[in-house]
Amino acid sequence: MLAPTTETELSEAIKSAEGTLRVRGGGTRPVGNLVTGEVLSTSGLSGIELYEPGALTIVAKAGTPVSEIEAALAAENQRLPFEPMDHRAILGTKGTPTIGAVAAGNISGPRRIQAGACRDSLIGVRFVDGNGTAIKNGGRVMKNVTGYDLVKLMSGAYGTLGVLSEVSFKVLPGVEACSVLLIEDLSVEDGVRAMSMALGSPYEVSGAAHVPVGLDGKPITMIRIEGFAASVAYRADELRSALSEFGASTIESDPEKTSAGWKWVRDVEKFAGTSGDLWRISVKPSDAPGIVAALGTDQVLLDWGGGLIWAEMPVGTDARAKLGAFSGHATLIRALEATRSELDVFQPELPSLAAISKGLRDRFDPRGILNTGLMG
Amino acid sequence: MEMPKPSADILAKKDHVVSRLLEVLPKDAVIHAEEETRAYECDALTAYKCPPLAAVLPASTDEVSAVLRICFEEGVPVVPRGSGTSLAGGALPTADSVILGVAKLNEVLETNYDDRYIRVQSGRTNLSVSGAVEEEEFFYAPDPSSQLACAISGNVAMNSGGAHCLKYGVTTNNLLGVTMVLMDGTIVELGGAHLDAGGLDLLGVVCGSEGQLGVVTEATLRILRKPEGARPVLIGFNDNEIAGACVAEIIKEGVLPVAIEFMDRLCIETTDKFANAGYPDCEALLIVEVEGSDAEIDFQLGKIMEIARKYDPVELRESKSASESAAIWKGRKSAFGAIGQISDYMCLDGTIPVSSLPFVLKRIAELSEQYGLEVGNVFHAGDGNMHPLILYNANKPGDLELCEAMGADILRLCVEVGGCLTGEHGVGIEKRDLMFSQFDPQDMEVQLLVKDVFDPRWLLNPAKVFPLSVTENRRALAMAAE
């Protein structure tokens, strides 16, 4: 295993590589097509380099544990806006999630619908490309249109274009209170409709999820409101009236319960330790009921108001074949190696876009050594 | 500002190119008479002008594709143009280029309130996107100050911001998908009404690429429900530095205003005279706006004023009504116009870390003294996006050059303190030659590689964004290939 401790060492490691490299942060998210080669770990590149609470900015080396970032932010009552998911529960992995891998996978959570994805908070990167050249893009300010935005390109490239060495994020103030409106027994269709109504209200919903089979075996719809205490109480009440057509609802404001509940949604804990394949499907919310019907299972969790569907499918099932042509994309997050080598993990691109993606990979990584084939 | 020498070959075959364009477009959509092409000789950076070879106004994605295919085959550079409001010269033509204007592409194609998006043709103006969803109490968040005129295509090209970015982000954070035509005429779809990319985030790199990667003809934009209400508080200080410290504390205390606007004495006095805004006599003025229900607004403004009082403000004016809000905003909204009444000016757009605000303001004052040119500061303080306005006399020989030199010094200062050359206007030609102060050669080279992939012959808006010396070989190869 290669474990550089500086960007210069990272650069040297890539320059002198004689074969393919498996780029890894904490090793908690083995997502993607199977790749081979020596492990190149960024865990040695660790530490917060700059944190300015008054400027809502944090800069850290890529291998810094997410927990270290979150603790530093919490000490100043701030947080990462996009609520990054921890994959350890569903993938059964051990290890320490790193901030660089969060950036590389564009890993976001329930608050993505309000605060944007990881890529929206990521304001700067340093990375080393496939030639071993260290490159910077973006910076540490939240408004920056100087040159092309490669920050977005690197976020979600899973290390196939370059290995991140440093990431900068815009952060947000923490909140005083959180309330969750709970509605029971809705169909998927009504659940999505209720969430759309909530998200289209002026009450600033920061989370909207629905499961047909909740912890007690019954459907549950959860809508989250955060902010100053008085404001949260007011908005939760208003929202309850606005959604009265969906039947009785309760408001949960116990901090421990609300935080555990949204962690359950964020980390898709419903499918922790289950044995089927796990698909992650991004669609426009109103398409979700049709997609769930086409998948033919009620073992789903809908986040992002219905825009994100997590579905557990029997081992080896090609969910895309069941969906046919649809507007959005499906990623196979958890499956046996045999399935992952047989099915595309990422949604295959149309030929015109695939040519662009290939062109970019050929130029950023001309020797084709970085996570080769991971995204297809 | 240097522009590449036009290709004599292309100039010589103008009639041939025009006749080919006329084969795919109606007569009135191809502008080629010399007295008419002049309408496209510049954008809002009026110091630089050059009429194009021709200008075309296609009315559909297919027509855009046909035009690009022809220009690709003929090796003619294409400069895409939205509404021509770029302050950076993003739509400045060269004599051998075809201007591709999207003005005729201005339809709303779809509105979807359940899924909270709108799909529009890219020539539609920013404000009229919000206008199309206003009846349902929705809006499109990015609000550049040219929003009445500027087109979505230009917003996507420059990744435009506005006054409310602190809460809602800029264009890239509100753009879900585009239909785009590549230089060879290929039509591609990036993104859609769903969130995030399945593969590489190509949409993310297209947004802000200044029309160099493709011509965006349609855009899917996120729309949001309007807040119940919004009201500002006006805070006056007798010291810039103290105003800057107050901004940092407001942010740190967990209030997230939708806007924090800053004006210095020159801007306060000028706009007050111009718009009768009734601003206090002071060194620095903040306008801080929050959103929500009446009670929520009262609560947040209360918190902000509590913080402000610790900094000994000379004025603290809380808006209690729509008319009071309008009065507070009146001066700020007319700031550029007001300064324009008293002098020619150049508007800069650097961003700095908010913590450097006091230092940068002090340095700008020193530079002002050194160059003998007055500077007004009006900007989005919450996100550090500064807009120093350097006053000069366009009729005085040498003054523009002096002003540009001072502007360059200020932008280099922004980079030195950890910021960047441009926060929302784009590089265009204006800041092209300063790129080396922010990027090392390898940082720039990798960006050129991206353009190589999308536009291998370097025909789309080729003389922008990067210093000409850096792109020279690539542009020359493209010419040779032709």
Q: What are the pLDDT digits (tens) for A20-36?
A: 999 999 999 999 999 99
pLDDT band at A54 (very low <50, low <70, confident <90, very high): confident
Query: A residues 190-209 near B, CB within 8 Å?
Result: 193, 196, 199-202, 204
Is the CB of A230 less than 8 angstroms away from the CB of B299? yes
Residues B170/B153, Cβ–Cβ less than 8 Å = no
pLDDT band at B252 (very low <50, low <70, confident <90, very high): confident
Which chain A residues are Cβ-neighbours of B110 within 8 angstroms?
A: none
Which chain A residues are Cβ-neighbours of B353 within 8 angstroms?
A: 52, 55, 57, 140-141
Is the CB of A359 less than 8 angstroms away from the CB of B205? no
Is the CB of B426 less than 8 angstroms away from the CB of A145? yes
Closest C-alpha among B406, B349, B145 to residue A144:
B349
> Residue A262's pLDDT is what?
98
Which chain B residues are Cβ-neighbours of A161 within 8 angstroms?
A: 200
Per residue in B52-107, pLDDT tens?
Answer: 999 999 999 999 999 999 999 999 999 999 999 999 999 999 999 999 999 999 99
> Residue B68's pLDDT is what?
98
Rounded to the nearest angstrom, the minimum Cα separation between A219 and chain B is 21
- Count other Cβ atoms within 10 Å, centred on residue B358: 16
ipTM surpasses cut 0.85: yes
Burial of B155 (0-12, 13-18, 19+ CB in 10 A): buried
The proportion of chain A whose per-residue pLDDT surpasses 90, expressed as a percent, equals 99
Per residue in A181-232, pLDDT tens?
Answer: 999 999 999 999 999 999 999 999 999 999 999 999 999 999 999 999 999 9
Rounded to the nearest angstrom, the minimum Cα separation between A253 and chain B is 19
Per residue in A321-359, pLDDT tens?
Answer: 999 999 999 999 999 999 999 999 999 999 999 999 999
Which chain A residues are Cβ-neighbours of B164 within 8 angstroms?
A: none
Write out the residue limits of the CATH 3.30.70.3450 domain(s) in chain B: 230-270+279-332
Per residue in B161-172, pLDDT tens?
Answer: 988 888 999 999
Residue extents of the structural domains in chain A:
7-173, 177-266, 269-342
User: Considering chain A, what is the average pLDDT of its residues?
Assistant: 97
Q: Which fold has domain B230-270+279-332?
A: Alpha-Beta Plaits (3.30.70)
Rounded to the nearest angstrom, the minimum Cα separation between B166 and chain A is 9
Say which range, A285-289, A356-360, B379-383, has the weakest mean pLDDT: B379-383
Is the CB of B173 less than 8 angstroms away from the CB of A116? yes
Which chain A residues are Cβ-neighbours of B117 within 8 angstroms?
A: 284
Is the CB of A55 less than 8 angstroms away from the CB of B353? yes
Is the CB of A150 less than 8 angstroms away from the CB of B355? no
Write out the residue limits of the CATH 3.30.465.10 domain(s) in chain B: 1-226
Rounded to the nearest angstrom, the minimum Cα separation between A231 and chain B is 6
By Cβ distance, the residue of A172, A304, A357 closest to B199 is A357
Inform me whether the C-beta atom of residue A329 falls under 8 Å from chain B C-beta atoms: yes
Please enumerate in sequence order all residues whose Cβ is within 8 A of that of B20, keeping only pairs 6 or more positions apart, or say none.
Answer: B70, B74
Residue with tokens 């510049």: B42
Please name the residue of chain A whose CA is at the shortest distance from the CA of residue B136.
A200
A368 vs A58: CA distance, rounded Å: 32
- Residue B308 reports pLDDT greater than 90: yes
Question: Buried b / exposed e across B197-226, counting CB within 10 Å, b at 16+?
Answer: bbbbbbbbbbbbbbbbbbbbbbbbbbbbbb
For residue B208, CA distances in Å to B149, B320, B334 come to 19, 39, 27
Rounded to the nearest angstrom, the minimum Cα separation between B326 and chain A is 22
Please name the residue of chain A whose CA is at the shortest distance from the CA of residue B191.
A328
Rounded to the nearest angstrom, the minimum Cα separation between B101 and chain A is 22
Mean pLDDT of B241-260: 88
Rounded to the nearest angstrom, the minimum Cα separation between A376 and chain B is 9
Would you state the torsion angle of the CA atoms of residues B184, B86, B118, A351, taken in this order, to the nearest 10 degrees?
A: 20
Residues B236/B278, Cβ–Cβ less than 8 Å = no
A-B CB pairs within 8 A amount to 264
- Residue B255 reports pLDDT greater than 90: no
Pick the CATH number of A7-173 from 3.40.30.10, 3.30.465.10, 3.40.50.720, 3.40.720.10: 3.30.465.10
Per residue in B118-130, pLDDT tens?
Answer: 999 999 999 999 9
The proportion of chain B whose per-residue pLDDT surpasses 90, expressed as a percent, equals 86
> Residue B358's pLDDT is what?
85
Residue with tokens 């965006």: B216
Please name the residue of chain A whose CA is at the shortest distance from the CA of residue B155.
A145
CATH no. of B343-433? 3.30.70.2740
Per residue in B407-421, pLDDT tens?
Answer: 999 999 999 999 999
- Residue A285 reports pLDDT greater than 60: yes
Is the CB of A142 less than 8 angstroms away from the CB of B383? yes
- Residue B251 reports pLDDT greater than 90: no
- Count other Cβ atoms within 10 Å, centred on residue B401: 10
B320 vs B323: CA distance, rounded Å: 8
At B346, is the secondary structure helix, strand, or coil?
strand
Rounded to the nearest angstrom, the minimum Cα separation between A290 and chain B is 15
> Residue B241's pLDDT is what?
85
Residues B445/B410, Cβ–Cβ less than 8 Å = no
Show the DSSP H helices in B310-434 as ranges: 322-333, 335-342, 357-371, 399-416
Per residue in A82-108, pLDDT tens?
Answer: 999 999 999 999 999 999 999 999 999
Which chain A residues are Cβ-neighbours of B195 within 8 angstroms?
A: 112-113, 117, 282, 304, 307-308
Mean pLDDT of A134-145: 96
Inform me whether the C-beta atom of residue A131 falls under 8 Å from chain B C-beta atoms: no
- Residue B482 reports pLDDT greater than 60: no
A371 vs A166: CA distance, rounded Å: 19
> Residue B481's pLDDT is what?
65
The class (CATH top level) of A177-266 is: alpha beta
> Residue A182's pLDDT is what?
98
Is the CB of B383 less than 8 angstroms away from the CB of A353? no
Burial of B186 (0-12, 13-18, 19+ CB in 10 A): middle
Residues B53/B14, Cβ–Cβ less than 8 Å = yes
Mean pLDDT of B296-303: 94
Residues A151/A119, Cβ–Cβ less than 8 Å = yes
Is the CB of B196 less than 8 angstroms away from the CB of A352? no
Query: A residues 236-255 near B, CB within 8 Å?
Result: none
Per residue in A157-172, pLDDT tens?
Answer: 999 999 999 999 999 9
Burial of B310 (0-12, 13-18, 19+ CB in 10 A): exposed
Write out the residue limits of the CATH 3.30.70.2740 domain(s) in chain B: 343-433
Per residue in B196-237, pLDDT tens?
Answer: 989 999 999 999 999 999 999 999 999 999 999 999 999 999
Closest C-alpha among B262, B411, B155, B202 to residue A350:
B202
By Cβ distance, the residue of B353, B427, B440 closest to A141 is B353
Is the CB of A329 less than 8 angstroms away from the CB of B207? no
Rounded to the nearest angstrom, the minimum Cα separation between B27 and chain A is 32
The class (CATH top level) of B1-226 is: alpha beta
